[in-house]
Structure 1
Amino acid sequence: MPLIGAYIADTYTGRFTMVLLSSLIYLMGLSLLTMSQFIPSLKPCKLNVCQRARSVHEVIFFLAMYFISIGTGGHKPCLESFGGDQFDDDHSEERKRKMSYFNLWNFALCCGLFLGVTVIVYVQDHIGWNVASLILTITMAVTIVTFYVGKPYYRYRRSEGNPLAPLLQVFVAAIRKRKLLYPSNPSLLYEVSRSEKSPGRLLAHTDRLRFLDKAAIIEDEEGIVNEKSRNPWRLARVTKVEELKLVLNMVPIWLTSLPFGICVAQAPTLFVKQAAAMNREISNDINIPPATTYSFGAIAMIISITIYEKVLVPYIRRVTGDERGIKILQRIGIGMVLAVLGMIVAAIVERKRLGIANEEIIQGGNHEVPMSVFWLAPQYGILGIGDGFALVGLQEYFYDQVPDSMRSLGIAFYLSVIGLGSFLSSFLIILVDHITGNGAKSWIGKDINTSRVDNFYWLLAALNGLNLCVYVYLAKKYTYKNVQGRVVAADCNNSDGVELMP
């Protein structure tokens, strides 16, 4: 769904319009859920007694879920990319603020997540789901109004049409000219002059994926053509060729990000299941809901982003002179290392919890293990810090390294890492349960106290460790986007293409 919403925004509606429409659709979904909690004829439960759901209950529920899903698909990729559009890449100070934008964006998201798993969960458990739904609906309505009020002050990027068509044109032109010889000098490849009016920024030529360069070779019969008379299916600009190279270069990085997405999926699933089987008492009258333990990770991510933005980046900038601090892929790699460490710590903690659970079972047993839920804080914390590096880095990477006309799609690619990571996590759990279910103990059974989730965490640590080796190799070979017309801080093949004003 995010890919569809992002494609529509980049091609037709523009990001502002898509954000507004998708937010209204999301609000409709929340409103239906709230109505089903307050209108007597729509309530399936009366006086805590739930009757068999009637057709109207099912229709309202699924309709609300579809509205929320569609709204999320348009809202998530387009709002973040629209925020990034407010900064001018050609202005050095705004470019630095844009690098901070992704940190501030995730700081705000984590604050919202923290309130969601603490305040909203508390209201659901102690007051009622109807009040919680009403709070969320009112909050969403206020945010939509606030967003719309700022309309006169926003910067808008004009849509350049279908962003995928130029990529296909380059591929077709390269195939048509596959038998031609490469020119002796890359400057002989076709590109519009800087004086000629052209939408978007011009990209510098790179030596990777050279077979695509043939799409920009000017054949004798074509001569020197102007931009209006050029047939894009036969002759492509160097910038369009480089844009296709950018997209193809991202595929291996995207694939090696998926195991990290599997690790991220454990925090709201198996970690919460562990919490449900542990002692969650703070005092005689206060118990932590299992879902609230997710706030440990949110707090850690907030702290890590703050330290990174306010301490590490300014220090590294002074030392290296690089305005970004560390390269994007280096930041993602640090997060992947922390994910491996988080899975190792999770396995050790779970093994200790199972030891206590086994003692309790021998002595008569209790489903809740007398082990404090705060033992989960280290694994949540390490993963939260890792998210502060990897997730924010992935957002910045998929926004910055895609063609300028595909930035909403870029954020959608980032979201696909999280979404597909969750699907792969579910598939891996099913596969592991099927393989280990024939033995004495299934690794992931219905009762977590008789399972071996610690072995599953060790498996994830091993898979992510091997994946990290592949990722490091790819990151070292990666060529970052290089924009013409500015002085590049370092060699194109070894830097992240940070541009400095001449």
Structure 2
Amino acid sequence: MGKIRRRVKAKSSFFNWWYFAISVGITVTLIVLVYIQENLSWALGFGIPCIVLVVALLVFLLGSRTYRYSAKENGKNPFMRIGRVIVRAIRNRQNTPSAIPSEEDACQWRQCSEQLKFLNKALLAPDGSLVGQNVCSVNDVEDTKALLKIVPIWITSLAYAIVFAQTSTFFTKQGATLDRKIASSFRVPAATLQTFIGFSIMIFIPVYDRIVVPISRRLTRKPSGITMLQRIGSGMVFSMISMVTAALVETKRLEAAKDNGLLDLPKVTIPMSIWWLAPQYILCGVADVLTIVGLQEFCYDQVPKELRSLGISIYLSIFGIGSFLSTFLISTINKATSGDGQESWFANNLNRAHLDYFYWLLTGLSALGFTAYLYFARSYIYNKESAI
């Protein structure tokens, strides 16, 4: 028991510091390489990452010689096992268990969980008798359930991914219109504004891992402090707050443009400090620490052991599909709001656009996604090891 608890603690902490390292790399890139590309040379700006990648590849190859692979517990292809369970469950959907031939088979049937109970029929033969280990085992059925249980969480996380896509697009475009001077002769490149997210992540991860988790661990008696789903949901709340903040700041930016007669002068800097954008970036960084790292750990931990790499792919697909949905949403809104000679919400002249409306829409979409997420998260049953 103690060994498992230590493993759960270590795994949760690993994902925190893994994302911390990634954020450090991204932040350094945004500060150093963006400056080099804009002020020195684009060739040098691309050459440095190339050299770094070559060094990283060499280190990886050196480490791969000493890496120890875990022994496979089951020689069967995991995708074949899961596909077989789904096919047999569909074929046996009309069947009910008949007389159970032995106590061993009865025990096997009782080992199946109650969630997604229809998959239990994968253990039945066409005549209703249990087929035992010859076709589908209890482990096969439970692994299939573990994978399918993630689907509602995956779907409801897409709203968060749509919001996540805005930090590198419209946030940057907003910043390009504001006063970016931080010294008499230095202007912050618009793309570098994303360092606000990186710095907030680098500050909040140590605070979360070393302060928040130990305190919550004492309160909840759980090795990870709060559960993975609670962590993900908390990040969604911060994401909503960031959209509310972004909408309010954009409203103020539009008012500043109007008050200074700049509505039709998009290339003229609005007399409003770039620091007004800092709160929405910082809130997005806090949301990332909670939701992104939580999703990494959740998707890795809750899939069958043989499908851990698929779990990380499931996590990454949330943000890939979220970006596609963001593009589709923007395209649809652009067409709907640009008719009859009106300015689109996303007009090239941001002073005539309405990003504030879009941010309010994302706030509502996030609230809807979070409500659906709560419904599925509350009924979710963790795998046994994670529940300890």
TM-score (normalised: structure 2): 0.91
User: Which segments of 5 or more consecutive residues in structure 2 lack a partner in the other structure?
Assistant: none
Q: 1:94-125: per-residue Cα shift (whole Å, max 9, x none)? A: 33211111001000010011011111111111
Contact preservation (8 Å) 1:329, 1:475: yes
Deviations 1:383-415, CA, capped at 9 Å, x for gaps: 110010000001111111111111111111111
Distance change in 2, residues 1:153/1:364 (3 Å)? closer
State the alpha-carbon separation in 2 of the partners of residues 362 and 152 from structure 1: 62
> Structure 1 480/362 Cα, relative in aligned 2: closer, same or farther at 3 Å?
closer
**What SS does the corresponding residue of 1:450 show, helix, strand or coil?**
coil
Structure 2 residue matching 1:448: 3-state secondary structure: coil
Are the counterparts in 2 of residues 190 and 218 from structure 1 also a CA contact under 8 Å?
no
8 Å contact 2:334–2:345 — kept in the other structure?
yes
Instruction: Give the alignment partner of residue 112 of structure 2, picking from 205, 223, 236.
Output: 205
Provide the secondary structure at the position in 1 that maps to 2:235.
helix
String of CA shifts for 1:472-501, please: whole Å, max 9, x gaps: 111001121125xxxxxxxxxxxxx434xx
Match of 1:188 in 2: 105
Alignment of 1:228-377 (within 5 A): 230=134, 232=135, 236-361=136-261, 365=265, 367-377=268-278
Structure 1 counterpart of 2:239, one-letter code: A
d(CA) in 1 for partners of 2:37 and 2:239? 31
Secondary structure in 1 matching 2:78: coil
Q: Please state how far the C-alpha of 1:273 moved relative to its aligned partner.
A: 0.4
Q: Distance in 1 between matches of 2:263 and 2:251?
A: 19
Write the deviation string for residues 348-389 of structure 1: whole angstroms up to 9, x where unpaired: 000000111122336984532111111110000001100100
Letter in 2 for 1:430: S
**Alignment match, 2:30:** 117
Residues 247, 187 of structure 1: alpha-carbon distance in 2 compared, 3 angstrom cutoff: farther
Q: Kindly tell me: are residues 102 and 364 of structure 1, through their superposed partners in 2, closer, same or farther at Cα, counting changes over 3 Å?
A: closer
Partner Cα separation in structure 2 for residue 423 and residue 318 of structure 1 = 41
Per the alignment, do residues 362 and 423 of structure 1 end up closer, same or farther by CA in structure 2, a change over 3 Å counting?
A: closer
Aligned residue pair count: 381
Give the root-mean-square deviation of aligned CA atoms. 2.6
> d(CA) in 1 for partners of 2:282 and 2:127?
63
Higher RCO structure (Cα 8 Å, ≥6 apart): 2
2:334 corresponds to 1:433: yes
Instruction: Mark the CA change 1:125 to 1:184 in structure 2 (over 3 Å): closer, same or farther.
Output: farther
Give 1:463's aligned residue.
Answer: 365
* Residue 170, structure 1, aligned to residue 104, structure 2: no
CA distance in 1, matches of 2:51, 2:165: 29
In 1, the alpha carbon distance for the partners of 2:371 and 2:191 equals: 33
Mark the CA change 1:397 to 1:238 in structure 2 (over 3 Å): closer, same or farther: same
1:320-363 Cα distance to aligned partner (Å, 9 max, x none)? 22112111111000010111100000000000001111223369
Matched, 1:214 2:129: no
Amino acid at match of 1:188: D
Equivalents in 2 of 1:348, 1:217: separation in Å? Answer: 59
* Structure 1 residue runs without a partner (length 5+): 1-88, 193-202, 484-496
Tell whether the 8 Å contact from 1:189 to 1:216 is kept in structure 2 after alignment.
Answer: no
Matched ranges for 1:39-58 at <5 A: none
CA distance in 2, matches of 1:469, 1:162: 37
402-411 or 453-462, which moves further after superposition? 402-411
Give the residue type in structure 2 aligned to 1:240: D
Contact preservation (8 Å) 1:191, 1:239: no
Percent of aligned positions with the same letter in both sequences? 38
Residue 222 of structure 1, CA deviation:
7.6
- The question of whether the paired residues in 2 share the 8 Å contact of 1:332 and 1:390 is answered with yes
- 1:93 and 2:10 aligned: no
TM-score (norm 1): 0.71
> What is the CA distance between 1:162 and its match in structure 2?
3.7
